[in-house]
Structure 1
Amino acid sequence: MIFSLVLCVCFLIAWLLDSFLGRPKRLRSKLEKQGIRGPSPSLLYGNLAEIKKINNRVLENLSKKPADSGEVKFHSWPSTALPHLLQWIDEYGPIFVYATGNIQILCVTDSDMVKEISLCTSLDLGKPSYLSKDRGPLLGRGILTSNGPYWAHQRKIIAPEFYLDKVKGMVNMMAESTLMMLESWETKAEDLVGKLEVKVDEDLRKLSADIISRACFGSSYAKGEKIFSALHALQRVMSKVVVGVPGSRHLPNKHNKEIWKLESEINSMILEVVKEHNQLNGSKKDLLQLILIEAEKTRDANDVPEDVSMDKFIVDNCKNIYFAGHETTAISAAWCFMTLASYPEWQARARAEVLEICGRNAPDADMLRNMKTLTMVIQETLRLYPPVAFVVREALQDIKFKGIHVPKGVNVQIPISILHQKQDLWGSDATLFKPDRFAKGIARACKIPQAYLPFGVGARTCLGQNFAMMELKVILSLVLAKFSFSLATTYRHSPVFRLVILPEFGVNITVEKL
């Protein structure tokens, strides 16, 4: 008995030593031998302390300056939201290595290497394991985080529901939801007899939630409101938790307790929605019904891991669709309102196009395809304010890019916002809002088109890309046809990284009915 206990302790100590010291050092050494440098990591936390120090210094400098109010003077926000990366790029070059806990990250802003990674379709490059572990309560092992045959199995179910032909059939539903939001604006504006101030990001979050609920789950936002609210709360809590420190997610501290509580509530609520869906829509072939059908097969499916139960298969994929389908689209729409409100000349051009193509009627898919100016505005906004901060992949096997051997276990990180503002790719006006750079398409807007990454790269490009673009066009076209808007004097321009790129204080606009 004592011998067994001693043996277990020895194994535990050996595992801890290898996790914190041995494996990270081996991976880093393989990169350093190829001339790749980076800041020296500490034993337990990697470079997390240094990241915090750099960020705090920037925040301290910002606090000494007067806050911008009602005006957007510049778009070079990565210098305040991701200052550690810019500092290390200056110090170590466009390819460097750093660590968060025991996770070794190869940060890449070299354009040619980004192109190679973008064109890579090998399953040897997959989603990092920390997404399903450290971020597991939010994302689980759904399509956003899984790899290999299990990912391919989920993709086969979900991808066809977001093909362009399917999405075209959802335009009327998107318009109906948007018009309900605009009716509430009209009612409030009439009560105020004049201009109305709207915290548009909050309204857009509800709207996007309603659209994804109706499109994929056959229900309205009202039914899923508690789920969306809990997911948003979970996102906020998890943005405060560091990743890469082995065992940290199991500690019964304040943040973890709140995460566990929210995770349990969300899982229960999703299963309740599923139960209700079965009772009311048993024969309706929406995405949720397809997930339920596949969930019934999980026990017999060779591509599904043994530890994935039917309930877990359902919950994880629903959470992925709820989160990816509503949060990132709502944020992108909010940034579009911010840019259109900041540049009245582009708002006027987009409105003229909308009125010429569809008047004050709700648009159809063909009308949306012809809205070239609105498309350019959206593309430029996604360039300057991509909702997702990073493309992150893990080398699941040893792999090679631009002559660099990336060892199995290393995470490859592409900071999208930094790449989207590189002058050697976009020109000396890279930090300026210039939608007409996309007048001849993405291929002519950037020296290396693969460096435009608002929807990710390679085989793991966002499945909902068509859905998101269609939704953004529907929302913006309907608003432009009915209202003019400008930034409210209460707006404070402060993009921050909290798992996604958020407007820290929201987006306040003043709307006036045309």
Structure 2
Amino acid sequence: MWAPASSPTILAAFGLVGLVLAWQAGLQLHRLWWRPRRLEKALRARGLRGSRYRFLTGDLAEESRRRKEAWARPLPLRCHDIAPRVEPFLHGAVGVGAAHGKPRITWFGPTPEVHVADPELARVVLSNKFGHFEKVSFPELSKLIPQGLSAHEGEKWAKHRRILNPVFQLEKLKSILFLYLIIEMSSENVQLMLPVFSACCEELISRWMGSIGSDGSYEVDCWPEFKSLTGDVISRTAFGSSYLEGRRIFELQGELFERVIKSIQKMFIPGYMYLPTENNRKMHQMNKEIESILRGMIGKRMQAMKEGESTKDDLLGILLESNTRHMEVNGQSNQGLTIKDIMEECKLFYFAGADTTSVLLTWTMLLLSMHPEWQDRAREEILGLFGKNKPDYDGLSRLKIVTMILYEVLRLYPPFIELTRKTYKEMEIGGITYPAGVIINLPVMFIHHDPEIWGSDVHEFKPERFSEGISKASKDPGAFLPFGWGPRICIGKNFALLEAKMALCLILQRLEFELATSYTHAPHTIISLHPMHGAQIKVKSYMTISDYSVFY
């Protein structure tokens, strides 16, 4: 029979609950008030200037307000001075745009951000040779954001890098892109063996050419087209015959990232990410479906390997092969990647592999539409090297003008406009000692747009500045940072550049293009830098019907 608890027991229970609540309140007060004020005082004592801490949200509200104002006004066509529009708060209120090289403080919620726009200091941070910097992480989002190579630290990062390196070696990329997929072009005979990327590109180009109207042109928004293209490519190159399942992952992950970004500004409300809001529930449902698909594909592939089947020459197959070899060399199964690790790396394939290339291709098409003389020069080089033939790997490596164009696009419109690290212990950078817990923000876009580094023509589209390579393109040989720097430089940069070169070659061989009258020049950033209102271009056939038949 149930007996009521005695008064002392009830009082003790309430007292315990009270202590727990008081302890939690103390932790939150320290996190949201005392710690930020202590860090602010320490940074200002070292001579740093910038905005002052505002309780809970820091500068997020002001940043949001300024972005809303700036994003409401498009830029003039062919204007490449995009920083005031893309990052108005940093450019104006904080002064990074007006005072390059001088670290400035802003507040990402209760965490201070110090913006370091000096390329030499940026390389010190990115080289991480002292091990005093770590990637900025969001524990509340760790189950939703890919926790692959880019998110790891220390020995775990080193292990993942060793295992993943074979996946992104140039010879492996050559194998994947040029020898992987056999496509039957005729019902009667196998006429041509096309690489996976060429096959996807040709499907896109064929669709565009088939849509050309009686006026000889076709208006298309190439931004969603390139997102779809690179999603299809990464699905095929990552998962081979399972690419349709991979395609579903790509679609889910794209929507998931958009929802995550919308949630970041609310993360500083304690426990917000754990509330059963519609958005939170939807994000976890989508992540659960992504992981279910990945777990099934990886399980099937590992079972096939156990049964003696050869690994397929796709990213997942190479990753599993490299992981198995790593465990055999070390003699311990726990020295390799777990199923969860492999799943996270596959998620990262999509995030880094698809988004970066689609952004690069989109801005390249837009800038070549704005500057048709460079479109003509690129086409002349491509036709001179390949004629009407399909581009080959060795030929792509000899493209000079196309490479110059891609580098200049990456300089003016870097896919990711900033890189961040965090001090986990006291660290000196450029004569300033930073305490632990400070975000070091490296504003790539501001470095790329600094006239003191690149010259008075910094906002002009001039690919010729890269005619003698990256190191001689500016006054500082290390000021070009679209893929980062040092040991953590983007492992997939060769993959992205190879894709972009192949796509440009195939497009320029067959099409010419110009800006559509409906295009609005409005670059902005959510995760990556992309056109806010789309990338509308007007394409026209560059070939006669007889020319076109050579390709098919």
Q: Determine if the TM-score, normalized by the shorter chain, exceeds 0.5.
A: yes
The answer on 1:102 being equivalent to 2:110 is yes
* Structure 1 residue 84, shift from structure 2 partner: 0.4
Residue 269 of structure 1 aligns to which amino acid in structure 2? Answer: I
- Aligned to 2:518, the other structure's residue is in SS state coil
Contact 2:40 2:53 in 1 (8 A): no
Contact 2:149 2:345 in 1 (8 A): yes
Contact 2:235 2:247 in 1 (8 A): no
* Structure 1 residue 7, shift from structure 2 partner: 2.8
CA deviation string 1:448-474 (max 9, x = no partner): 122211001222110011111111111
Match of 1:269 among 282, 290, 293: 293
Distance 1:302 1:41, change over 3 A: farther
Per mean C-alpha deviation after superposition, the further-off stretch among 91-100 and 272-281 is 272-281
Residue 35 of structure 2 aligns to which amino acid in structure 1? Answer: R
* Structure 1 residue 427, shift from structure 2 partner: 0.7
Distance 1:223 1:262, change over 3 A: closer
Rounded Cα–Cα distance in structure 2 between residues aligned with 1:135 and 1:72 = 38
Rounded Cα–Cα distance in structure 1 between residues aligned with 2:446 and 2:245 = 39
- Aligned to 1:496, the other structure's residue is in SS state strand
- Aligned to 1:169, the other structure's residue is in SS state helix
CA deviation string 1:114-171 (max 9, x = no partner): 24334443432221122xx244344332112111111111111112211222223334
Match of 1:166 among 154, 159, 172: 172
Distance 1:119 1:235, change over 3 A: same
Match of 1:481 among 485, 509, 521: 509
Residue 436 of structure 1 aligns to which amino acid in structure 2? Answer: E
Rounded Cα–Cα distance in structure 1 between residues aligned with 2:164 and 2:16 = 48
* Structure 1 residue 266, shift from structure 2 partner: 1.8
Distance 1:420 1:138, change over 3 A: farther
Match of 1:85 among 72, 90, 97: 90
Structure 1 equivalent of residue 4 of structure 2: none
Contact 1:171 1:364 in 2 (8 A): no
- Aligned to 2:529, the other structure's residue is in SS state strand
Per mean C-alpha deviation after superposition, the further-off stretch among 285-294 and 328-337 is 285-294
Structure 2 equivalent of residue 188 of structure 1: 211
- Aligned to 1:442, the other structure's residue is in SS state coil
- Aligned to 2:459, the other structure's residue is in SS state coil
Structure 2 equivalent of residue 121 of structure 1: 129
Aligned-pair identity (%)? 31
- Aligned to 2:262, the other structure's residue is in SS state coil
Rounded Cα–Cα distance in structure 2 between residues aligned with 1:509 and 1:247 = 45
Rounded Cα–Cα distance in structure 2 between residues aligned with 1:384 and 1:472 = 16
Contact 2:420 2:441 in 1 (8 A): yes
Structure 2 equivalent of residue 44 of structure 1: 56
Contact 1:211 1:220 in 2 (8 A): no
Residue 289 of structure 2 aligns to which amino acid in structure 1? Answer: E
1:276-355 equivalences under 5 Å are 276-278=300-302, 283-285=310-312, 286-289=314-317, 291-292=319-320, 294=323, 310-355=338-383
Structure 2 equivalent of residue 434 of structure 1: 462
Structure 1 equivalent of residue 547 of structure 2: none
Match of 1:444 among 472, 475, 481: 472
Residue 167 of structure 1 aligns to which amino acid in structure 2? Answer: L
Match of 1:363 among 391, 407, 413: 391
- Aligned to 2:471, the other structure's residue is in SS state helix
Distance 1:504 1:272, change over 3 A: farther
Residue 23 of structure 1 aligns to which amino acid in structure 2? Answer: R
Contact 1:115 1:448 in 2 (8 A): no
Flag the structure with more relative contact order, 1 or 2, with Cα contacts below 8 A and sequence separation at least 6: 1
CA deviation string 1:359-379 (max 9, x = no partner): 111111211121100000000
Distance 1:18 1:256, change over 3 A: same
Residue 469 of structure 1 aligns to which amino acid in structure 2? Answer: L
Per mean C-alpha deviation after superposition, the further-off stretch among 88-97 and 151-160 is 88-97
1:124-143 equivalences under 5 Å are 124-130=132-138, 133-143=139-149
Q: Quote the RMSD (CA, aligned, Å).
A: 2.6
Rounded Cα–Cα distance in structure 1 between residues aligned with 2:144 and 2:474 = 34
Q: Identify unmatched segments of 5+ residues in structure 2.
A: 1-11, 179-194, 543-552
Structure 2 equivalent of residue 76 of structure 1: 81
Structure 2 equivalent of residue 216 of structure 1: 238
Structure 2 equivalent of residue 258 of structure 1: 282
Rounded Cα–Cα distance in structure 1 between residues aligned with 2:394 and 2:142 = 40
Contact 2:412 2:449 in 1 (8 A): yes
Per mean C-alpha deviation after superposition, the further-off stretch among 386-395 and 193-202 is 193-202
Contact 1:389 1:499 in 2 (8 A): no
- Aligned to 1:445, the other structure's residue is in SS state coil
Structure (1 or 2) with the larger CA radius of gyration: 2
Contact 1:20 1:102 in 2 (8 A): yes
The count of aligned residue pairs is: 500
Rounded Cα–Cα distance in structure 1 between residues aligned with 2:154 and 2:285 = 31
Rounded Cα–Cα distance in structure 2 between residues aligned with 1:362 and 1:177 = 13
- Aligned to 1:218, the other structure's residue is in SS state helix
- Aligned to 1:455, the other structure's residue is in SS state coil
TM-score normalised over the length of structure 1:
0.90
Rounded Cα–Cα distance in structure 1 between residues aligned with 2:145 and 2:357 = 17
Contact 1:198 1:509 in 2 (8 A): yes
Structure 2 equivalent of residue 28 of structure 1: 40
Contact 2:78 2:370 in 1 (8 A): no
Distance 1:374 1:491, change over 3 A: same
Match of 1:400 among 420, 428, 432: 428
* Structure 1 residue 268, shift from structure 2 partner: 2.0
- Aligned to 2:525, the other structure's residue is in SS state strand
CA deviation string 1:449-506 (max 9, x = no partner): 2221100122211001111111111110111111111111121111111011111122
Rounded Cα–Cα distance in structure 1 between residues aligned with 2:22 and 2:146 = 32
Contact 1:127 1:146 in 2 (8 A): yes
Distance 1:459 1:248, change over 3 A: farther
The answer on 1:465 being equivalent to 2:465 is no
